[in-house]
Structure 1
Amino acid sequence: MLDNIRVVLVNTSHPGNIGGAARAMKNMGLSRLVLVDPIDFPSGDAVARASGATDILDNAQIVGTLEEALVGCTLVLGTSARDRRIPWPLLDPRECGVTSCEQARQGGEVALVFGREYAGLTNEELQRCQFHVHIPSNPDFSSLNLAAAVQVLAYEVRMAWLAAENQPTKVEKFESTSMLSSQAVTADELESFYSHLELALVEIGFLDPTKPRHLMSRLRRLYGRSGISKLEMNILRGVLTETVKAARGEHHKQGKDDV
């Protein structure tokens, strides 16, 4: 589906922006870049800014006119930062992503068209687009870098594509010790822990073995309903071991001071 969506850059003046756009595209799974009459391309600046997305640059199609860039397209969306005198169907970036993916899913060819850094698309070029796309940036500082604008729309396209493909939009990170994280402790491991916990509490003076009251029973109920994993148990046992060591060291220090 994403192969049916092309990014068209019109008359780009700075090659670094072409490289930045290529990087943004590859980040989001887009691969088809069309350059309309670029002022300086190919260029080392473009390669440097692409940061590994040189395959996008190598396969970029270079044409002389916007008409050539749009050959075969069934849906053309042009970015516009300015209000135009003639009202035109307008989409925000999220709607742009959804509309693009719907068209591409049906086998249509889609073009996302971006204009010049200094002036955007002309009125004549915008009239070749079925929809205009406006990125709702801060009105007090609304001008976006070309590559940044490509990143915004490419991101929305990817989010719409993930939704259409029923793929997750977030990937959970698993610990390298995920096996221990998922395994629950056994009853005998819990009993060993409770003995260790009681010893530590006595050592630090929190539990008086002659007057235990119901402290250990309450702690058993607390930890018993916590669903402790083997990894968590290892952490708790480590804390108790160091607690006992510290408590005994303090006792010995006090004994020496008393002498």
Structure 2
Amino acid sequence: MHDQLRIVLVGTQHPGNIGSAARAMKTMGLGRLVLVSPQRFPHPEAVALAAGAADVLDNAVVHERLEDALADCSLVVATTARRRTVPIPEYSPREAALRLVQEQASGQVALVFGRERTGLENEELQLCHASVSIPANPDYSSLNLAAAVQVLAYELRVAALEHAPAEADRATTIDELPASHEQLEAFFAHLAELLREIDFHKGKTPDIVLQRLRRLFQRARPDPRELRILRGIFSDTQRLLRKPSDS
């Protein structure tokens, strides 16, 4: 199950939490673990707390940057314990699980967990398409990382069992799939470059405008062909801007 779905742990401080998360994953049929800048890994404590899920640890992939961990993903959902200032769609655990399971039938997807104490930074959240929060007791909402992984892994398993995708629903070509995270980030960089060249921001900070445009295109889920068309427009516009005038 979930060959296309990865669990991503960012900046995990305690190796035991990595092992416990691996155990939580394996009990629900998940095997793809990706670690971003873990403070201590590999580590004997991780193996001890994996309790039979050492194969998940052995196959774990480690990256230094979250961007690299998500490069080939078409849908990324971030877990967060509190409302953030970053404008991002919010799903319930059941909604998030269903979206991820449906999307993984035709592309790579990721569920991202942040640091034990501080979670994900706003810059990291901006790399994600949506967020999910576990509706814990508001009077005592502290949830261990591995426990959070277990809750959402359970929801993923339920969604997979109840909504197994039909083979006919799979896209038939690469260009019919939503663009990958890497393709979108290259598009956003090109868009930012063009906006600077046409002086769109008029000396004002570009952050808010770029953040809103990022959300717009992440909601639209363009495919690679559509991004190529847009980037072709950008390139032609830049070429005309740089062309010396006849005068």
* TM-score normalized by the length of structure 1: 0.62
Map of 1:120 onto structure 2? 119
Measure the CA separation in 1 of the matches of 2:33 and 2:117: 20
1:30 aligns with 2:30: yes
Higher relative contact order (CA 8 A, sep 6+): 2
Map of 1:204 onto structure 2? none
Measure the CA separation in 2 of the matches of 1:60 and 1:30: 12
Distance 1:35 1:86, change over 3 A: closer
Measure the CA separation in 1 of the matches of 2:142 and 2:83: 13
Measure the CA separation in 1 of the matches of 2:16 and 2:141: 21
Measure the CA separation in 2 of the matches of 1:86 and 1:49: 34
Name segments (4+ residues, structure 1) moved above 2 Å: none
Report the alpha carbon displacement of residue 146 of structure 1 after superposing the two structures with TM.
0.4
Report the alpha carbon displacement of residue 86 of structure 1 after superposing the two structures with TM.
3.4
Q: What count of residue pairs does the alignment treat as equivalent?
A: 165
Measure the CA separation in 2 of the matches of 1:60 and 1:53: 11
Measure the CA separation in 2 of the matches of 1:144 and 1:84: 18
Report the alpha carbon displacement of residue 26 of structure 1 after superposing the two structures with TM.
0.4
2:57 counterpart letter in structure 1: L
Map of 2:86 onto structure 1? 86
Contact kept in structure 1, 2:74 and 2:109, CA below 8 Å: yes
1:55 counterpart letter in structure 2: D
Q: Rg larger in 1 or in 2?
A: 1
Equivalent runs, 1:20-99 vs 2, <5 Å: 20-99=20-99
Equivalent runs, 1:138-157 vs 2, <5 Å: 138-157=137-156
Map of 1:165 onto structure 2? 164
Map of 1:137 onto structure 2? 136
Report the alpha carbon displacement of residue 153 of structure 1 after superposing the two structures with TM.
0.8
Instruction: Tell me the alpha carbon deviations over residues 170-199 of structure 1, each in whole angstroms, 9 at most, x when there is no partner.
Output: xxxxxxxxxxxxxxxxxxxxxxxxxxxxxx
Instruction: Tell me the alpha carbon deviations over residues 127-159 of structure 1, each in whole angstroms, 9 at most, x when there is no partner.
Output: 111001011000111121000011111110000
Measure the CA separation in 1 of the matches of 2:145 and 2:45: 15
The RMSD of aligned alpha carbons is 1.1
2:67 counterpart letter in structure 1: E
Contact kept in structure 1, 2:33 and 2:57, CA below 8 Å: yes
1:97 counterpart letter in structure 2: A
Map of 2:10 onto structure 1? 10
- Which structure 2 segments of 5+ residues have no match? 166-247
Equivalent runs, 1:92-111 vs 2, <5 Å: 92-105=92-105, 107-111=106-110
1:154 counterpart letter in structure 2: A
Measure the CA separation in 2 of the matches of 1:120 and 1:60: 21
Measure the CA separation in 2 of the matches of 1:165 and 1:74: 19
Measure the CA separation in 1 of the matches of 2:76 and 2:137: 26
Measure the CA separation in 1 of the matches of 2:70 and 2:141: 27
Identity of paired residues, percent? Answer: 59
Instruction: Tell me the alpha carbon deviations over residues 81-134 of structure 1, each in whole angstroms, 9 at most, x when there is no partner.
Output: 1111233200011111100111012x1111000000010000110111100101
* TM-score normalized by the length of structure 2: 0.65
Instruction: Tell me the alpha carbon deviations over residues 41-89 of structure 1, each in whole angstroms, 9 at most, x when there is no partner.
Output: 1111101110000000000001101011101000000001111123320
1:78 counterpart letter in structure 2: A
**Secondary structure of the residue that 1:74 maps to in structure 2?**
strand
